[in-house]
A and B are shown apart, each in its own frame.
Chain A
Amino acid sequence: MFWQPLFWGLLIPCLIVLGILYGTTRKVYKLFYVLSLFVYVISVAYIIDVFDLGRNWILGLLVFSAVLMILIAAWLSRKGKERPKRKAASSTKRHLWILLVLLAVMLILIVVSSLDVGVTREVSVVSSLQRSSLIVPLSNGEPYQLSPVPVANYSYANSFFLPVVAQDQYFLACWYDTKTQTASTEQLQTLVNGQYNEYRVANEPLAEVPPGAFLKLAVTVTGTSYAQPKGTVPASAYDRYDAIVLASLRDRSYVDCSNLPAMKDDTSKVSSYAIIPLK
């Protein structure tokens, strides 16, 4: 993901250029031209990066950008020389119309892609888990190795004409005490389709379902182990937990396990919440 460092790396010089340009010329329009160029560079970087384009596409995009910039420069210099003053008013009106159309298209795109139309989501969570599969006592010197345990499947079918981002982006599993209805501060390791949750989330793109496609997110968790007799974590530390809580969150914001029960009803953040008893 190089577009984010590039964005922040170019933003500071861009702000400096904007400040100098406005300080020396006092013309607002020049600032918008610079902003337009900045957004173009970021757009090209974003497209190359997140769509993981091949070398032919990258080369094509770079050549296209070069030709586009040269043509616009030539057009602007010709317009600057030819433009009669009396036509300025109608030209301004035309630019305002183009602006309105562009803003309307942006708004329509945002609204249409935010509608959860044509998407079927199914969530299946296991009814219970074996305690011994998650909390394993090890004898001294035994290698630390626990197997991931399947806990849930999230499936999406998209019949919409646009790609859809899955609601469930980040999975969090915590030890849970049903009597006090509190969760541990410690988090169980979560894997999504065999990848570390943190790894998957840190690397965009977010889970997307292409038009007409089906996506399945299989979630597994890995518990903990304690060494005997000189364990650093005593076995009794887990005695009070009689369940695990599994939540899927809509975005990548970090949520502490102990805060999870309090925010379970906040559907803007938590898209599913399940308590799985340990037997």
Chain B
Amino acid sequence: MAFRLEQILYTLGGLFAAAAIIYFAWEYLVLLPRIIKAALLVLLMGVFFFLGRHFQERDV
């Protein structure tokens, strides 16, 4: 039971984080210059990649 509650909370946390990112992008990032948006996308790719590396090292 505790395991399931944990999963639900993780999922909810992920959904709220995704909603926050989408809202932030929609309201604020859309008004930034194109070059900054392109740079942010490339950096975001790096963030996801190194998060993947980090979790891989921890075998998560």
Contact = CB atoms under 8 A, between A and B. Distances in A.
A237 interface: no
Contacts of A99: 47, 50-51, 54
B17 interface: no
B38 A46 contact: yes
A79 to B, nearest CB: 9
B32 interface: yes
B38 to A, nearest CB: 5
B57 A32 contact: no
B13 to A, nearest CB: 13
Interface string A186-228: 0000000000000000001110100000000000000000000
Interface stretch (A123-131, A133-141, A160-168, A259-267): A160-168
Given A29-B52, A29-B55, A95-B50, A163 B60 contact: no
Nearest to A26: B60
Contacts of B46: 36, 98, 102
Given A27-B60, A251-B30, A36 B35 contact: no
B33 A163 contact: yes
Contact of A95 (B38, B44, B48, B53): B53
Interface in B1-35: 28-35
Contacts of A205: 34
Contacts of A98: 46, 50
Given A32-B52, A33-B52, A251-B30, A110 B58 contact: no
A39 B57 contact: no
Nearest to B10: A28
Interface residues of A, number: 42
Contacts of B60: 27-29
A208 B34 contact: yes
Interface of chain B: mostly helix, strand, loop or mixed: helix
Contacts of A102: 43, 46-47, 50
A36 B34 contact: no
Contacts of A105: 43
Contacts of B34: 50-51, 163, 204-205, 208
A32 B49 contact: yes
A113 B33 contact: yes
Contacts of B45: 36, 39-40, 43
A31 B14 CA distance: 13
A81 B53 CA distance: 15
Interface of B: 28-60
29 contacts: A27-B55, A28-B55, A29-B52, A30-B52, A32-B48, A35-B48, A35-B52, A36-B52, A39-B45, A39-B48, A42-B41, A43-B38, A43-B45, A91-B53, A95-B53, A95-B54, A95-B57, A98-B46, A99-B51, A102-B47, A106-B40, A110-B28, A110-B32, A110-B40, A163-B34, A204-B34, A208-B34, A251-B30, A251-B31
The 4 closest A-B pairs by CB, nearest first: A32-B52, A29-B55, A36-B48, A163-B33
Given A33-B48, A43-B42, A102-B50, 7 more contacts: A27-B55, A29-B55, A35-B52, A50-B34, A92-B54, A109-B36, A109-B40
